[in-house]
C-alpha cells in the first residue's frame, strides 16, 4: 500500500527553509526599496507600488523553486511555462504600451532625476510642455500647466523626450498663484 508520508519529511523541511528565505529576502527588498525611495524623496505611493512589483516577482520565483523541491520534472515546468508565456505574450502584445509605461515607471523610480513639485519642460516638437510635476504614477505623470490644466503624460514618452528642469520645488509658487 502507498504511504503518503514516505519521503515527504525532507520536502516539508526544504519548503520551510525556502519559505523562510523568501520572507527574509522580501523583507530586505522592501526595506531597501523604502530606503532608496526616502533617500530620493519619492512619495510613499510609488514606494508601495514598486514594493508590490518586487513581491509578486519574488513570489513567482518562490513558486518555481518550490515546484523543483516538490519533484516536478524540468520538462513539465518548461511545457507549462511555454504555454503560459505564449498565451500571455499574445495577450500582452495587444497592450504593449501599458507594459511599456509600467516598465518606464519602474525605471523612473530608480533613476528619474525629477521629483514631485519640480517644474520641467518637455522638448517635444509637436507639443512642447512646461509644467509642474504633480504626481508620478505607474502609467503616467500628472503635470499641472501654468493655467491650471492637468496634463497626463505617458511614462514611456517622458523617457524618450528631452526634459529640462526649469525650477526645483515649483509647486509652492504655483499654489501661491491660485
- Summarised one tens digit per residue, pLDDT across range 135-167 is 888 888 899 998 999 999 988 888 888 889 888
C-alpha distances out from residue 59 to 25, 32, 53, Å: 11, 17, 10
Q: Is the pTM of this model over 0.75?
A: no
Q: Residue 132: its pLDDT value, please?
A: 92
33 burial type by CB count under 10 A (0-12 exposed, 13-18 middle, 19+ buried): buried
Percent of the chain with pLDDT over 70: 88
Q: Residue 35: its pLDDT value, please?
A: 92
Encode pLDDT of 44-58 as tens digits: 888 888 899 899 999
DSSP tag of 114? -
Give the C-alpha separation, 170 to 120, whole Å.
9
Q: Residue 84: its pLDDT value, please?
A: 80
Buried b (16+ CB within 10 A) or exposed e, 63-86: eeebeeeeeeeeeeeeeeeeeeee
Amino acid at each position: 500500500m502507498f504511504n503518503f508520508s514516505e519521503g515527504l519529511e525532507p520536502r516539508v523541511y526544504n519548503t520551510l527553509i525556502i519559505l523562510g528565505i523568501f520572507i527574509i529576502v522580501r523583507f530586505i527588498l522592501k526595506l531597501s526599496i523604502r530606503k532608496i525611495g526616502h533617500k530620493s524623496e519619492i512619495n510613499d505611493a510609488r514606494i508601495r507600488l514598486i514594493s508590490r512589483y518586487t513581491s509578486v516577482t519574488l513570489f513567482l520565483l518562490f513558486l518555481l523553486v518550490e515546484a523543483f523541491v516538490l519533484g516536478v520534472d524540468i520538462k513539465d515546468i518548461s511545457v507549462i511555462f511555454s504555454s503560459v508565456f505564449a498565451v500571455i505574450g499574445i495577450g500582452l502584445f495587444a497592450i504593449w504600451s501599458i507594459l511599456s509605461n509600467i516598465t518606464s515607471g519602474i525605471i523612473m523610480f530608480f533613476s528619474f532625476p525629477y521629483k514631485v513639485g519640480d517644474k520641467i519642460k518637455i522638448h517635444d516638437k509637436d507639443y512642447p510642455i512646461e509644467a509642474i510635476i504633480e504626481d508620478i504614477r505607474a502609467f503616467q505623470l500628472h503635470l499641472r500647466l501654468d493655467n491650471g490644466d492637468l496634463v497626463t503624460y505617458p511614462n514611456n514618452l517622458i523617457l524618450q523626450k528631452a526634459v529640462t528642469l526649469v525650477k526645483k520645488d515649483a509647486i509652492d509658487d504655483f499654489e501661491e498663484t491660485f
